Amino acid sequence: MDVNWTMTTPVLVVGSGAAGLSAVINLVFAGVDCVLVTKSDLTASSTDWAQGGLAAVWDRQDTPEAHYEDTIVAGAGLCSQTAVRTLVQEAPRALQWMMRIGARFDRNAAGKIDLHLEGGHSARRILHSNGDASGHEIEITLAKNVAAMDGATWNTGGQGELKVLEDCELCDVLVDGEGRACGATVRDSRRGFGVVSAFAVVLATGGIGQLWNATTNPEVVNGVGLAAALRAGAIGRDLEFMQFHPTIFVPPVKVKGDRGVLVSEAVRGEGAFLVDGQGNRVMRGVHPQEDLAPRDVVSAAEQEYMVAHGLDHLYLDATSFGAQKWKEMFPTIYELVSSRGVDPITEPIPVRPGAHYYCGGIAATMSGQTNVAGLYAIGEVACTGVQGANRLASNSLTEALVMGSLVAKQLAEADLPQLRRRPVAKPATIPQPAVIAPTVLETIQEIMSRDVYVLRDRAGLQRAQRELENLSPHTTLVARALVAPALAREESRGTHRRTDFPHRREEWRRHLDVKLDPDGTSLEVSETPV
């Protein structure tokens, strides 16, 4: 590969969602120089698309212990108790920090934060902004702060300088002869391929939603960070657990480029419910919380109902809301749905499950540390054990902010001073970039949507494995890394539902770890205790 340009920085952060941007802001204010690389513009991320809110104990009648228990229950036995306790304890501080840097959350008539209820939560602890535009508020607030820092030198007890590289795509994480991360190769839209050398690399690249036909994720979310980490020697954990959101809008007339319009969990939190074409309640009798059951339960029940009755979709009935509630509480959803031919005020919304949030990822601590020295992973690309086998609603944005703060603290106070005692290492090799051609991505999407969807079985997973292996091993790495543990896990747990193994089995209450063999193509699956 021809390298057209080079750059050196103490810390390289890749990704500009809530995790990456919060890490950068905290690093700069801690006096750490860093470079931020983002695939598109600064605000192109899953965070910006997020309609739901942020979970945190805010009401005196609520407790961190209750938030902890709800998260543990939703995670179906695979949560890390330590990670979840860190999340629930740090969550209020993370949201207070967001408010200090400019974020505004909805308030009630009394001027207090307006708290909402979502599936799996035992109390109202979800903070929203502008009704259903919470992610946008978080993204814009963080981006404004980062944009103000770009190219400036900030004296905040130390000096931190930030350089932002937009339209710059991650190719690979570079490692030195000792297996330490020492930077990354990136492809700049204007300058071509370049090398950014660094003492520490922080991946905040989001999930893998673009591997399916229907997803709530933007086009930039295609698993490149996970692939790069695996090629660098990192461990992938719980990769079989992809959360499918139960209410992805199915427009009567498909709009070109429409991959999935999310109808937020909060709509069901306010009283909407799933029905079939005759108005029969789908979730009645399935779970004590009915339509507010954890997402894995709702999506599985929904898909089972559709298969049993030969249906392509179901309906979300929120006609009881009335016009005022729709336009005040859910203006974004109302506009998205009504502009595509359905009036949610007067008619149920056609919906089905779609790829939403990746519960698996690079095995990491809440401070982002991975098994590869110098490599950190935060946000959705990381698997900390907070989400377990199924994410509790609205924990993801909160976890991203918490991890952004904690990785900055870890780097500024502990790791970076040690890393700086040695020069920035040279990579052992500079690999060729693994570029996924659009036609190959379409093939991957077809395979994953057919055989690695909400309901799975051995025959379908084996077929997917064969077909993926017949494509380029580099471009199918993430998909193959998901299928391998999905085949191995012979049970149904959380978001992983096997029709040939329909029950949860205690002997499978363990993590499955995936690592790339030295040959760069084969995957090794191993077990790790919870």
Alpha helices in 386-476 (DSSP H): 395-410, 416-419, 438-451, 458-469
Catalytic option among 125, 180, 268, 295:
295
pLDDT tens across 61-93, in order? Answer: 999 999 999 999 999 999 999 999 999 999 999
Q: Let me know whether 462 and 407 are in one domain.
A: no
Of 257-261, 391-395, 515-519, least confident by mean pLDDT is 257-261
For the cut 90, the answer to whether the pLDDT of residue 216 exceeds it is no
| Overall domain count for the chain | 3
Q: Let me know whether 147 and 219 are in one domain.
A: yes
**CATH code of the domain containing 256:** 3.90.700.10
Q: Let me know whether 303 and 328 are in one domain.
A: yes
Q: Which of 355, 372, 388 is the last residue of a domain?
A: 355
Q: Let me know whether 224 and 249 are in one domain.
A: no
**CATH code of the domain containing 168:** 3.50.50.60
Tell me what percent of the residues of the chain surpass a pLDDT of 90: 78
- What is the domain extent for residue 156? 5-49+132-241+359-419
- Cβ(121)–Cβ(55) below 8 Å: yes
Q: Which two tokens stand for residue 13?
A: 């952060």
Q: Let me know whether 229 and 147 are in one domain.
A: yes
Split at pLDDT 50, 70, 90, the class of 416 is confident
Q: Let me know whether 225 and 253 are in one domain.
A: no
| Dist CA 427 CA 342 (whole Å) | 54
Q: Let me know whether 455 and 519 are in one domain.
A: yes
For the cut 60, the answer to whether the pLDDT of residue 152 exceeds it is no
pLDDT tens across 396-414, in order? Answer: 999 999 999 999 999 999 8
Q: Is residue 69 part of a domain?
A: no
Q: Let me know whether 367 and 325 are in one domain.
A: no
Q: Is residue 459 part of a domain?
A: yes
Split at pLDDT 50, 70, 90, the class of 156 is very low
Q: Which of 339, 355, 371 is the last residue of a domain?
A: 355
SS3 content of the chain, % helix, strand, coil (to 5): 35, 25, 45
Q: Is residue 21 part of a domain?
A: yes
Of 258-272, 350-364, 365-379, 443-457, least confident by mean pLDDT is 258-272
Q: Let me know whether 25 and 150 are in one domain.
A: yes
Selection from 456, 526, 513 nearest residue 487 by Cα: 456
Selection from 515, 488, 406, 393 nearest residue 119 by Cα: 393
Q: Let me know whether 350 and 363 are in one domain.
A: no
Q: Is residue 500 part of a domain?
A: yes
- Cβ(28)–Cβ(34) below 8 Å: yes
- Taking CA atoms, 14 is separated from 40, 64, 163, 504, in Å, by 11, 31, 12, 37
Q: Is residue 287 part of a domain?
A: yes
pLDDT tens across 439-474, in order? Answer: 889 999 999 999 999 999 999 999 999 999 999 888
Per DSSP, 206 falls in state: -
Q: Let me know whether 293 and 149 are in one domain.
A: no
Q: Which of 355, 380, 410 is the last residue of a domain?
A: 355
**CATH code of the domain containing 464:** 1.20.58.100
Q: Is residue 63 part of a domain?
A: no
The predicted model scores a pTM of 0.92
Q: Is residue 377 part of a domain?
A: yes
Q: Let me know whether 276 and 363 are in one domain.
A: no
180 is catalytic: no
Q: Is residue 138 part of a domain?
A: yes
- Provide the mean pLDDT of the chain: 92
pLDDT tens across 16-60, in order? Answer: 999 999 999 999 999 899 999 999 888 888 888 787 799 999 999
